[in-house]
Structure 1
Amino acid sequence: MDQQNHLSARLVVEDDFQVGAVHDRLFGSFVEHLGRCVYTGIYEPEHPTADEHGFRRDVIELVRELGVTAVRYPGGNFVSGYRWEDGVGPREERPRRLDLAWHSTETNEFGLHEMAAWLAATGGNELMEAVNLGTRGLEEALDLLEYANIPGGTALSERRRANGADEPFDIRMWCLGNEMDGPWQLGHKTAEDYGTLAASVAAGMRQIDPDVELVVCGSSSHGMPTFGAWEQTVLERTFENVDFISCHAYYQPALNDDGTRDMASFLASGEDMDGFINDVAAIIDATKARLKSTHDVSISFDEWNVWYQGEEPSKVPEGRGNWPVAPRLLEDIYSVADAVVFGDLLITLLKNADRVRAACVAQLVNVIAPIMTEPGGPAWRQTTFWPFALTARLAKGGTVLEPKLTADTVATPRYGAVNGVNAVAVRCADGTLAVFATNRSQDAPAAFEVTVPGTAETVEATTLHDSDPFAANTLNDRERVAPYANDSAALDAASGTVRVTLPPISWTVLHIR
């Protein structure tokens, strides 16, 4: 029943009941040539911290701390008009192009070689490359794959070597276009046309490199009018030659009639993400059965985040003569409440680790991002940085245990009654236990009890919460919000029970040894 002043929740953890392994790619991110993500984000040759490549060292340090494992590149909507050849070779010879996706000018000063070098500087994170299936097709995709992955001896592989990369980039994961279901997408296609094109590109790429892992475009949101039918049609044409189908989802609080925001539903956004994943998984299973296939297709949730679409930070330049270079676009400043929703979405991805084997928070720097920079100035962590970094640190290489959760409910206009506490447990790679939990209530604290297997010796509780749920980290107050030790956590070693109080609108991790 709904609780107004106090919530109760209990999680029973048992090692015998497992959801699946936590794949490293679950902690991926996204770098698109959009706004200041690349230019003055990760790349700013004139910055005081810039290295010999022009990469901001302060950003590299934060990316390492964040724990990102793979980076999807170069888009996004941008890729549907991108000519990959523009971004290779001597910088002074690279052409400037109009970017129709974001009404900007692309200088092409940063391209594939720079991205590979930047990933190496961050610790060797994996490159997840997207190919243009909007204005281009099979031939261009094959050319890019040959350029990137063939060691040498061909015109394109030797061109790569001449451009400074003697060894191949050996890119394993490739996205076959981006959001091709969206009418906003340059080169938008019907499911039938896209499925046919993607099938031919997938088969062709495998003739060059049979071991590439391919991601076919699913729906760009759960609410698309073509959702479901799109997945079915595309998968029927591509099933045997692809390894993933993508999901994209962004969340923001809807506006009520009186101008206020529907925070109750926003805090429960994980309900929609969970439904989206389950629906797509059902379509994968139905297609596999219908085709009598033994092949498995997983989900790549390669765009997800909180994004205040349609609001001022997201405004795109307009006008025939207004095509700026790296304008400030989509620079949402995230609050504590946004970070709690963000953490709740991470919990949802972990709960579905058996189906979701890759995910990319969109994006990495400046553009709806956990990391912000100022040109010539500092870099800092947004509120959303913390749930990602702490979850990645503990969950990588672990195993998600089946969540046996009972909780009092809270009412939401969009989703009805939902669990007031959302939680998941991960058996960490070092044998310890991590429990991630959110309190979705706007005003009621939650008494959260966790029953753990075996002998528990210590518990550390870290909580992200603030008395002002709209508090944020900004250029002028870069450390306003940070997680803190939750001293309410107590361990009853005899019964193997951990108890902790979760404040309203909060995200918490328990690390149990």
Structure 2
Amino acid sequence: MTLKAKMTLEKDFMISEIDNRIYGSFIEHLGRAVYGGIYEPGHPEADENGFRQDVSKLITDLQVPIVRYPGGNFVSGYNWEDGVGPKENRPRKLDLAWRVTETNQFGTNEFVDWARSVNTEVMMAVNLGTRGIDEARNLLEYCNHPGGTYWSDLRKQHGWAQPHAIKTWCLGNEMDGPWQIGHKTADEYGRLALETAKVMKWVDPTIELVSCGSSNTGMPTFPQYEAASLEHTYEAVDYVSLHQYYGNRNNDTASYLAYSLDLDHFIKTIKSVCDYIKAKKRSKKTINLSFDEWNVWFHSNEADKKIEPWSIAPPQLEDVYNFEDALLVGSMLITLIKHSDRVKIACLAQLVNVIAPIMTESGGGSWKQTIYYPYLHASVYGRGIALQPVISSPKYDSRQFTDVPYLDSVAVYNPDSEEVTVFALNRSLEEAMTLECDIRSYPGFGVIEHIVLENDDLKAVNTFGKEAVKPHNNGHSAAIDGLLQASLPKHSWHVIRLGKNRG
């Protein structure tokens, strides 16, 4: 049996213009994300700054628009001053978040230089765990003030004459979590975040600020934490953060591939909370969402329990992703695009080695994990205007979900290239699908390319020198007289690019 699904794309049915920062990522001082990941002096591929060029090439290909730094749990115990100035004077410190030793050989200025080298922006987080208003304003002055003050002149003394001009800042990280250094109740956090935000915008009125939300939907304070903290911060911040990770712990793939429905519900819930506070305050301001941590994370849990405490940059959270993980990541990206009217920033956590699309060997090679590809496709081809598709799809029930559409899809129109890209996932584990898509709203458009990520083995993984899961562009589709017809094999990810008068 072949499943049949239908979709209609109408050019006037627009969700929103997509903020490119929705395809952002995250680098934390955790495991080998920094040391042995993006930064490894002495590596054969390292440049004069110690930045691994093989890794930089893979990141540049992803066209990552923004990267969050330096954490994550790490930031709640971090003194940023330890990571600037002459490297020989930088102290080694115990990182209590991950129970390792931090050498501080890589810090704020190195990260800014690295970000520029891979053509991305910086999303900086401030420590609201052990520190607060003073640390945040000093860091901002150090980074963004032109000169003539203590902290800005110190930056110049350190060798960075021009300000870093960082425009996006996170007010702490996961402050609702008891595991967080300096954990705070919603009111405690809200008061501190408000006063910090006020002072930071006095230092630099051009910045945007992200207020902490719940660290995940399973927290007993969710979503009250958002509501209570936003009571304080609503008028002072621009975004509220969301975090969510999924894992196929019960080997129930039918349910696993439906987790994007849970993600959809999560986003709708937080939108509702924000709009409730907006109404309560009779505000004219709309708070948008920063989904600044999201991914699959469960493979490395057991291995991480065996790490020797206080070691330096040990392998931590090094999930080896398989094919079904890539399918879910694709579906999560579709969900983020569907909510691009409010989700303006999103960060795949993380970028290198730590629950990441890119893996490295210290002193050796680098390679693309399975999840690299849907992330690449969305970032490169998902820029422009998100379209609201009208979809008719058969559905299934799993152990955890009911009425799951076999077809998960969204489309993006790029006015600069005059292309429409359809992202589609066939969730069926057994059946191929025929997709009929009405594209009469785009007269003369034909198929430019049909990229497919497929593999019979849902557990297939990529390793150095052996890429078992990689896309091909031999998808079966055609557009005739305003009707796109495409074949979607079982459990497969698709990128169908359409353009005018091109076949």
Name the TM-score class by shorter chain. Answer: over 0.9
- Partner SS, residue 98 of structure 1: strand
Partners in 2 of 1:281 and 1:311 — Cα distance?
A: 31
Within-5 A mapping of 1:9-408: 9-123=5-119, 125-255=120-250, 261-308=251-298, 311-315=301-305, 317=307, 322-396=309-383, 398-408=384-394
Query: Does the 8 A contact of 2:93 with 2:101 survive in 1?
Result: yes
Deviation (angstroms), 1:475: 2.5
User: In the alignment, which of 462, 474, 478 is matched to residue 490 of structure 1?
Assistant: 478
Q: 1:7 deviation in Å?
A: 2.0
Partners of 1:300 and 1:119 in 2: how far apart?
A: 20
- Give the aligned partner of residue 397 of structure 2: 411
Instruction: After TM superposition, give the deviation of residue 32 of structure 1 in Å.
Output: 0.1
**What letter corresponds to residue 322 of structure 2 in structure 1?**
S
Q: C-alpha distance in 2, partners of 1:487/1:90? A: 54
CA contact (8 A) 1:180 1:189 kept: yes
The letter for the 1-side match of 2:472 is Y
Structure-1 separation of matches of 2:92 and 2:124: 21
Q: Structure 1 residues 49, 37: closer, same or farther in 2, change over 3 A? A: same
Distance 2:37 2:306 in 1: 18
Which among 458, 465, 481 is matched to residue 469 of structure 1? 458
CA distance in structure 1 between the aligned counterparts of 2:372 and 2:458, rounded to whole angstroms: 16
Match of 2:488 in 1: 502
Unaligned runs of 5+ in 2: none
Normalising by structure 1, what TM-score? 0.95
Measure how far apart 1:312 and its partner are. 2.5
8 Å CA contact 1:103–1:317 kept in 2: the answer is: no
Structure 1: runs of 5+ lacking an equivalent: 256-260
Task: Say which of 412, 424, 441 aligns to 1:426.
Answer: 412
Deviation, structure 1 residue 416: 1.3
> Quick one: which amino acid aligns to residue 445 of structure 2?
A
Q: CA RMSD in A?
A: 1.2
How far apart are the structure 2 equivalents of 1:497 and 1:239? 46
Aligned mates of 2:74, 2:137 — CA distance in 1 = 19
CA–CA distance in structure 2, aligned partners of residues 232 and 161 of structure 1? 41
Q: Residues 363-413 of structure 1: CA distance to partner in whole angstroms, max 9, x if unpaired? A: 0000000000001111111111111111111122x0001121110002121
Q: Output the CA distance in 1 between the equivalents of 2:377 and 2:88.
A: 42
Secondary structure at 1:174 match in 2: strand
Contact 2:300/2:318 (8 A) holds in 1: no
How far, CA to CA, are the matches of 2:477 and 2:185 in structure 1?
A: 53
TM-score (norm 2): 0.97
Alpha-carbon displacement from aligned partner over 1:225-247 (angstroms, at most 9, x marks no partner) = 11111110011100001000000
Q: How much has 1:488 moved relative to structure 2?
A: 1.9
Q: Tell me how many residue pairs correspond in the alignment.
A: 496
Find the residue that maps to 2:451 and give its secondary structure: strand
| Mapped contact 1:27–1:359 kept (Cα < 8 A) | yes
The percent of aligned pairs where both chains have the same amino acid is 48
Distance 2:209 2:51 in 1: 29
Query: In 1, distance between residues paired with 2:302 and 2:161?
Result: 45
Q: Assess if the C-alpha contact under 8 Å between 1:456 and 1:512 holds in 2.
A: yes
Please tell me whether the aligned partners of residues 452 and 475 of structure 2 are also in contact (alpha carbons under 8 angstroms): no
